[in-house]
Amino acid sequence: MVTLTINGRQHELDVPEQMPLLWALRDVVRLTGTKFGCGIAQCGACTVHLDGEAVRACVTPVSQAQDREITTIEGIADDAVGSRVQRAWLELGVAQCGYCQSGQIMGAAALLKQTASPSDEQIVEAMDGNLCRCGTYSRIRQAIHRAAEHGEESA
């Protein structure tokens, strides 16, 4: 048995310890907001937070996620930074097909938790592993700046 704390709730899962966290989330806990893109940590669609840091769930075994706070897109609205990111995303109309956007939002929220007001260069560095085939990068960049502004307003 593996015990995972996901979005503040404990889940007892009867899964192998090496099961990728992505499969535990999607197939076992049925939290499908986190997406499969490539399975080799090269696209970022499966990005979730472990203790507030962005990780790729497709290559993170559940054993590594035990005793840590797992946050997924379904729980990010409960986080002050996360909800600001969602709001900025809506204001700027970022998403096109939407498939990578859970991962983008989780990546952006993790960045803003570390760096409240990132520069363009810091955004590129933090987000370069989150691919978007629709090419929404320009709006993602704007939305991260917007979310940072919202953070300053509420500070």
Partner 1 sequence: MRTLTELSPASAKARADQQGRNKGDGPLARETSDIARQGAPGTTRAHESAVKHVTGRAAYIDDLQAPADALHVALGLSPVAHGRLTRLDLEKVKSAPGVVDVITIVDVPGHTDIGPVFPGDPIFADDEISYVGQCLFAVAAESHQAARRAVTLASVEIDERPASLDPVAAAEREEFVRPTHVQQSGDWQAALSGAAHVIESEQFVGGQEHFYLEGQACLVQPTEDEGVIVHTSNQHPSETQKLVAEVLDIPFHAVTVEMRRMGGGFGGKETQASPWACIAAIIARRTGRTTRVRLPRAEDMRATGKRHPFHNRYQLGFDAQGVLQGGDITVIGDCGYSPDLSEAIVDRAMFHADNAYSLGSARVTGHRAKTHTASNTAFRGFGGPQGMMIIEAAMDDIARRLGQDPLTIRKRNLYRAGRDVTHYGQPVEQLGLLHDLIAQLEQSSDYWARREAVVAHNARNPIIKKGLALTPVKFGISFTAKHLNQAGALLHVYTDGSVMINHGGTEMGQGLHTKVCQVVARELGLDLEQVRISATRTDKVPNTSPTAASSGADLNGQAARDACLTLKARLFDFAAEHFGADRGGLDREGMRLEAGALIAGSGEAERRIPWGELVQAAYLSRISLSEKGFYSTPLIHYDRETAKGRPFYYYAFGAAVAEVSVDTLSGEYLVDRVDILHDVGDSLNPAIDIGQVEGGFIQGMGWLTSEELKWNDAGRLVSDGPATYKIPAFGDLPPVFNVELMQGHPNSQASIYRSKAVGEPPFMLGMAVWSALRDALSSLVDYREAPRLDTPATPERVLMAAEALRQRTLASQEAHHAPA
Residue of 133, 135, 79 lying closest to 108 (CA atoms): 79
Q: Smallest distance, Å, CB 78 to partner 1?
A: 6
- Considering the complex, state which of residue 38 and residue 116 has its C-beta at the smaller distance from partner 1: 38
Q: Would you call 80 exposed, middle or buried from its count of C-beta atoms within 10 A (0-12, 13-18, 19+)?
A: middle
Q: Smallest distance, Å, CB 151 to partner 1?
A: 13
- Considering the complex, state which of residue 62 and residue 89 has its C-beta at the smaller distance from partner 1: 89
Q: Smallest distance, Å, CB 130 to partner 1?
A: 7
- Considering the complex, state which of residue 4 and residue 123 has its C-beta at the smaller distance from partner 1: 123
Contacts with partner 1 by CB under 8 A lie at: 26, 30-40, 42-43, 45, 72-74, 77-78, 83, 86-87, 89-102, 105, 120, 123-124, 127-141, 154
- Considering the complex, state which of residue 70 and residue 95 has its C-beta at the smaller distance from partner 1: 95
- Considering the complex, state which of residue 43 and residue 70 has its C-beta at the smaller distance from partner 1: 43
Q: Smallest distance, Å, CB 53 to partner 1?
A: 18
Integer-rounded Cα Rg, in Å, for the chain is 15
Quote the CA–CA distance of 90 and 12 in Å, as a whole number: 34
Question: In angstroms, what CA-CA distances link 6 with 25, 70, 107, 129, 134?
Answer: 9, 5, 17, 23, 30
Q: Smallest distance, Å, CB 71 to partner 1?
A: 11
Cβ atoms of 69 and 51 within 8 Å: the answer is yes
Cβ atoms of 21 and 48 within 8 Å: the answer is yes
**Which phi-psi region, left, alpha or beta, contains residue 76 (left: φ > 0; alpha: ψ -120 to 50)?**
alpha
